[in-house]
């Protein structure tokens, strides 16, 4: 559920982006694009761990065989060499991100997680949610970085 809470919190912090998204009617296509950007901007899983099976070079760094590597997916998602203005939430941005990893261990649950967010966020937005408390805390495990509790007030009854 980290994607929905982190994503909704990002929308609260970027009211212009939220307004623009809502102006699209939160239709399937703009919503799918927005969910990808929310994944890039504040990924709920921020670390992947690997062991170097062979000696390798990463940039200027020599990585000896057997090294345990902690890969920061959230940092990669803000790489200025890849993304223009990487710290800006732009819900119309397109392109790849590493929120679900990459390669053979790519997240098996990615289609489910995407679908949940694509359905749940518009449903929540239809209720015109407002943040119900100022202080929002993240629960940070080694691998996950998720909004721990997000109290919201729906200001209208969501239409069925």
Residues that bind ligand HEM (CB under 6 A): 2-3, 43-45, 48, 73, 99-101, 105, 107-109, 112-113
Question: Is the CB of 72 or the CB of 132 nearer to ligand HEM?
Answer: 72
Torsion of CA 28, 33, 36, 40, to 10 degrees: -150
Q: Which residue of this chain has its Cβ atom nearest to ligand HEM in the complex?
A: 109
Tokens 């062979």 — which residue? Answer: 54
Cβ at position 2, least distance to ligand HEM in Å: 6
Question: Is the CB of 106 or the CB of 132 nearer to ligand HEM?
Answer: 106
Cβ at position 134, least distance to ligand HEM in Å: 26
Question: Is the CB of 34 or the CB of 113 nearer to ligand HEM?
Answer: 113
Question: Is the CB of 107 or the CB of 152 nearer to ligand HEM?
Answer: 107
Cβ at position 124, least distance to ligand HEM in Å: 16
Cβ at position 60, least distance to ligand HEM in Å: 24
CA 80 and chain centroid, separation = 17
Answer for the pair 159, 126: CB distance below 8 angstroms, yes or no: yes
Count CA atoms closer than 13 A to 87's CA, side-chain side: 0
């Amino acid at each position: 559920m980290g994607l929905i809470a982190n994503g909704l919190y990002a929308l609260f912090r970027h009211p212009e982006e939220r307004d623009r998204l809502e102006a699209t009617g939160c239709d399937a296509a703009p919503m799918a694009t927005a969910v990808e950007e929310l994944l890039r901007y504040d990924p709920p899983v921020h670390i992947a761990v690997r062991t170097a099976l062979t000696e390798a070079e990463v940039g200027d760094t020599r990585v000896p065989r057997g090294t345990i590597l902690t890969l920061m997916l959230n940092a990669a998602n803000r790489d200025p060499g890849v993304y223009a203005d990487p710290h800006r939430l732009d819900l119309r941005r397109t392109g790849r991100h590493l929120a679900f990893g990459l390669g053979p261990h790519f997240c098996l649950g990615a289609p489910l997680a995407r679908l949940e967010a694509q359905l749940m966020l518009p449903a929540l937005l239809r209720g015109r949610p407002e943040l119900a408390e100022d202080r929002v805390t993240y629960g940070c495990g080694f691998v996950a970085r998720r909004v721990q509790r997000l109290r919201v007030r729906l200001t209208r009854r969501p239409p069925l």
